Amino acid sequence: MYVRPSHRPRSDADVLEIIREHMFATLITSTADGLIASHLPFMIDEERGEHGTLLAHMARANPQSAAIGAAEEALVIFAGPHAYISPSWYEDRTTAPTWDYVAVHCYGRTVRHSDEEALQNIQRLVSVMERSSPEPWSVAELRPDDVHTLVRNVVSFEIPISRIEGKFKLNQREKPERTRTAIAQLEQQGAGTLADYMRRYNEV
């Protein structure tokens, strides 16, 4: 990913925040027939590995499941908040439009899970997603035969992250008054999360 020095993340914490808050990501792997991609929810175990370890699962029927466990490197793309920035927002309109965004790329080799690890992985994801529910659902509510079928129908895996890239393109190098205006416009449009990052990465 092309990242200008001004667009580099300011901290590892900012990168991990994007992974946690924008967990529905794109897994890209290479096959003999070319590249293949799947859109999957990913969790990160920050305690395992130099950059953390990603955990996910996909349908066994997905052709990409054959690539899980291969020696080739995989790429997972986390797309954070983003929006079009219009010159029409500024008093001085003599500037080009742009697109501000945050993205994180994680690289590593996929490692297949055993059935026991797959069940633990699914239970962990369910627990994370159900934690805000007033009556959280649990995998334990399934019949044993259904749990067995569930595990058999998925390929669970992890990716120890070997390298990680973050890009925080947030109006850096722009005039402060324009950035303040862009932040106000984004908040009016309901893009408050991107506006918050713009504040964080600009002295406005």
Of 77, 68, 66, the C-alpha closest to 107 is: 77
* Domain ranges across the chain: 5-82+99-173
Q: What is the pLDDT of residues 69-87, one digit of tens each?
A: 998 999 999 999 999 999 9
pTM here?
A: 0.94
Handedness of CA 86, 169, 109, 128 (dihedral sign): negative
What pLDDT sits at residue 16? 97
Which CATH superfamily hosts domain 5-82+99-173?
Answer: Electron Transport, Fmn-binding Protein; Chain A (2.30.110.10)
Reported confidence tier of residue 32, pLDDT bands at 50, 70, 90: confident
Reported confidence tier of residue 161, pLDDT bands at 50, 70, 90: very high
CA gap 88, 101 in Å, rounded: 19
3-state secondary structure of 56: strand
Of 165, 193, 38, the C-alpha closest to 104 is: 165
pLDDT greater than 90 at residue 203:
no
Phi-psi domain of 108 (left: phi exceeds 0; alpha: psi -120 through 50; beta: other): left
Q: Which two tokens stand for residue 135?
A: 């009556």
Q: Quick check: 24 and 40 in contact, CB under 8 A?
A: yes
Q: Quick check: 72 and 30 in contact, CB under 8 A?
A: yes
